[in-house]
Amino acid sequence: MRTVTTDRREGLAPVDDGAARETHVPRMCRLPGVYAPQADTGLLAAHVRRETLRPGARSLDLCTGTGALAVVAARHGARATAVDISRCAITAARLNAALHRCRIRVLRGDLDAPIPHERFDLVTVNPPYVPCEDVEVPAHGARRSWDAGTDGRLLLDRVCSRAPRLLTPSGVLLLVQSSLSGVDATLEALGRRGLTARVVERRTEEFGPVMSARSDWFAARGLIAPGARTEELVVIRACRP
């Protein structure tokens, strides 16, 4: 089955098969309004594969979308759980788990709400992180998978505050975000909560149509230099010292 993916910032822009292979992500089925795997998902997937998981290790993928990262973790040997607030995303994740013959527990809820007392050896998060003019996260529609408030941190700050109580004593958090949404703020927030956090990868990406349409607003807010049309995707790895 050919997967048509969408850019987090581009709506229904197709990605060719070569680009899909470069993401290191299995092909996923996607329902309308569900974020499809691409560069940021691929960066996280590559780092999931680099982690050494003990037998019986438990993984959690928040904001799972199609469930791609949960599938990668399950194939890597984890007992995987996937969570998303979107009903369509939950349906897609369950379908993809079945198609890839992976045993994945898929739960609907807001971040860690469905698993308030559980701990995990590996937590992956590819949250909405694109700055926008709206103060609140959209309640519905595709924009909910990328828009994250005026500084892009509505979900990132919540993830940072919850990460310590989600991790086992030796657990690892892998998170991807844009350079426009405050990489230092993420590192500092995780550090304040007792985690050792560092950037483990950076990749420069050109703006797609939605990001380009917001470029003047980004520049006016000082998020980019005037005329800039690129961002960095950044993978952060955090663990207990």
| DSSP states along 133-200 | S-SSPPSSSGGGGTB--TTS-HHHHHHHHHHHHHEEEEEEEEEEEEGGG-HHHHHHHHHHTT-EEEEE
With 50 as the cut, is the pLDDT of residue 6 above it?
no
Are 10 and 145 a contacting pair, CB within 8 Å? no
pLDDT for residue 193: 94
Are 228 and 215 a contacting pair, CB within 8 Å? yes
pLDDT for residue 141: 64
Are 82 and 104 a contacting pair, CB within 8 Å? yes
Number of alpha carbons in the 13 Å side-chain half-sphere of residue 102: 28
pLDDT for residue 52: 93
Output the average pLDDT for the chain.
86
Closest to 102 measured CA to CA, from 87, 82, 124: 82
Structure tokens at 174: 């892998």
- Name 135's Cβ contacts closer than 8 Å, sequence gap at least 6: 149, 150
Average pLDDT over residues 54-70: 96
pLDDT for residue 21: 42
What are the pLDDT digits (tens) for 64-97? 999 999 999 999 999 999 999 999 999 999 999 9
Query: Strand pairing of 79-84 and 230-239?
Result: unpaired
What are the pLDDT digits (tens) for 10-27? 332 333 333 334 457 888
In the chain, the percentage of residues whose pLDDT exceeds 90 is: 63
pLDDT for residue 2: 27
What are the pLDDT digits (tens) for 114-155? 999 999 999 999 999 988 887 777 666 677 777 788 898 999
Average pLDDT over residues 18-43: 77
Split at pLDDT 50, 70, 90, the class of 4 is: very low
What's the rounded Cα separation, in Å, for the pair 224 and 54?
42
Average pLDDT over residues 169-177: 96
Say whether pTM exceeds 0.85: yes
